[in-house]
Structure 1
Amino acid sequence: MEKTNTPCGLDVSLMFIGGKWKPLILYHVQGGPTRFSELKRRVGGISEKVLIQQLRDLVGMGVLVRRDHQCVPPMVDYELTPFGDTLVKALVPLCDWGNNNRAKVQDLLKQSSQAIGE
């Protein structure tokens, strides 16, 4: 069955935001045009290579627009498209859930790692 033809829209959503980095990138771009260097700083732990690839994917899917300002030194920024803005708005409740349950999740992860002897 094709992923866009299932009764659950999560399949469709996860095609766009699947993985660890894309939701974080989208979160950090939601405030307006964001330069590559700023994204690299904000999305801690991501390599430059992976960030470049994830940004290319998001631009290719019509979620972000890439603007090259054609200046020296080079300046490129990324901004949400109207379509991308709808995706970010759908992620906000998930972000809120994470903020509201951060302590509980940390406790559960700590218990889980202790139970397996880490």
Structure 2
Amino acid sequence: MTLAELSAGPRRYRELERALQGISQRMMTLTLRRLERDGHVLRHVEPSIPPSVTYELSPIGRSFAAQVAALVEWSRQTKAHIEASRASFDARSGQK
């Protein structure tokens, strides 16, 4: 979700926080740090009071986000087929 939000362009921390509803501040911070550590995200700090922090995808992050977007699109296209397969399997095996 973080990659998807940053795919649209640089975002300030608070913008990401509002966009990623349901994620705790701690989890978002850990996710951003992990993405930064792996080289997917660049972090920019503006020397202001309070400091303004902006995040954006690095070139490798953009490449990775494109791969993730392809997977998301595949899952959207195959969702109905997967759900039908599950229902058929469950009906045959008596499961729910």
TM range (shorter): 0.7 to 0.9
For 1:40 and 1:101, locate their aligned partners in 2 and report how far apart those are by CA, in whole Å. 30
For 2:6 and 2:12, locate their aligned partners in 1 and report how far apart those are by CA, in whole Å. 9
Larger radius of gyration: 2
Q: 2:56 — aligned with what?
A: 79
> Mind listing any 5+ residue stretches in structure 1 that lack a counterpart?
1-23
- The aligned runs of 1:1-118 (5 Å cut-off) are 24-101=1-78, 104=80, 115=96
Q: CA deviation at 1:74?
A: 2.4
Q: CA deviation at 1:101?
A: 4.5
Q: 1:41 to 1:101 in 2, by over 3 A?
A: farther
Q: Which has the higher strand share?
A: 2
What is the letter of the counterpart of residue 67 of structure 1? H
For 1:62 and 1:80, locate their aligned partners in 2 and report how far apart those are by CA, in whole Å. 9
TM (norm. structure 2) is 0.77
Higher relative contact order (CA 8 A, sep 6+): 2
TM (norm. structure 1) is 0.64
> Mind listing any 5+ residue stretches in structure 2 that lack a counterpart?
none
Percent of matched pairs sharing the same residue: 30
